[in-house]
């Protein structure tokens, strides 16, 4: 069983730092957040929480209050594959609601398929802005050798679709084909043999693919990883700049982008 709670002690912050280092391998020179800053944020009323399993810290999340009556979730990381990340986010949601906050925001790499599915399909968050090379050059083991494009994502905490997902209810019943994709959608960016291939973008609903494993691709084939980065930036970023909305992530492979 996973227990999530706020953290207040230096020893706990050190454990969070160790979990983050196990995930990203930033090294001592560039952690996503320092132990001292976690201490300051927690003392000032920010969000610093840890997930425990059998008494061992297995995940952590750090956020700070932001404009627009929101919490900005700066970094969240957990041992993969055991539902710990979801428990952290649900705890974060309740923490924010108890303080009268309306939304939680965060950024993530749009090429990370697993994160896109988690954020959009499981939580009900929605990307609002495409941010090219947001963090500049990063040297951790996951991002090294790539540009740090990010999607600024908003989680409207009291929206009906978010509340339903938080109750672990199945998603809505919008028309889907046997492949799980929206009926009538046009593929604006496809994965063909591992390569990004562009298609038409003028339909009301378009799909934008992302690669199956961008982290592995960066090491095995940097050229193809770079091609995906620029294709998704041009297609997804371009559509969002035109005012189209990302409304979901379908088939565990495609952003769904609609004219509203």
Residues 100-136: tens digit of each pLDDT: 999 999 999 999 999 999 999 999 999 999 999 998 8
CA–CA separation, 110 vs 85, rounded Å? 18
Per-residue confidence (pLDDT) for residue 80, from 0 to 100: 80
Give which of 17, 21, 26 is closest to 48, Cα–Cα.
17
Q: Classify burial at 56, counting beta carbons within 10 Å of its beta carbon; exposed 0-12, middle 13-18, buried 19 or more.
A: exposed
pTM as predicted: 0.92
Q: Where are the strands (E) in 37-94, listed by range? A: 47-53, 56-66, 70-78
Helix axes 10-24, 35-43, angle to 10 degrees: 130
pLDDT digits (tens, 9 = 90+) for 75-101: 999 988 789 999 999 999 999 999 999
Find out whether 76 and 47 touch, Cβ atoms under 8 Å.
Answer: no
180 pLDDT above the threshold of 80: no
pLDDT digits (tens, 9 = 90+) for 207-239: 999 999 998 999 899 999 999 999 999 999 999
């Amino acid at each position: 069983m996973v227990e999530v709670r706020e953290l207040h002690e230096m020893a706990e912050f050190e454990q969070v730092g160790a979990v983050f280092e196990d995930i990203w391998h930033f090294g001592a020179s560039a952690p996503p957040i320092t132990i001292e800053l976690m201490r300051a944020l927690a003392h000032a009323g920010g969000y610093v929480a840890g997930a425990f399993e059998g008494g061992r810290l297995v995940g952590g999340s750090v956020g700070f209050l932001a404009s627009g009556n929101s919490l900005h979730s700066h970094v969240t990381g957990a041992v993969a594959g055991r539902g710990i990340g979801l428990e952290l986010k649900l705890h974060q949601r309740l923490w924010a609601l108890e303080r009268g906050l309306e939304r939680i925001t965060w950024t993530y790499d749009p090429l990370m398929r697993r994160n896109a599915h988690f954020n959009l399909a499981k939580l009900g968050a929605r990307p609002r802005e495409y941010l090219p090379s947001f963090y500049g050059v990063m040297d951790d083991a996951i991002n090294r050798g790539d540009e740090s494009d990010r999607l600024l994502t908003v989680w409207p905490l009291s929206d009906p679709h978010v509340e339903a997902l938080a109750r672990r209810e199945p998603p809505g019943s919008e028309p889907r084909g046997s492949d799980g994709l929206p009926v009538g959608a046009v593929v604006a960016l496809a994965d063909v043999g591992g390569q990004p291939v562009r298609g038409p973008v003028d339909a009301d609903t378009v799909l934008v693919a992302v690669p199956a494993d961008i982290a592995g691709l960066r090491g095995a084939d940097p050229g193809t990883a770079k091609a995906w980065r620029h294709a998704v930036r041009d297609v997804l970023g371009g559509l969002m700049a035109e005012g189209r909305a990302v409304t979901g992530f379908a088939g565990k492979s495609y952003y769904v982008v609609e004219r509203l």
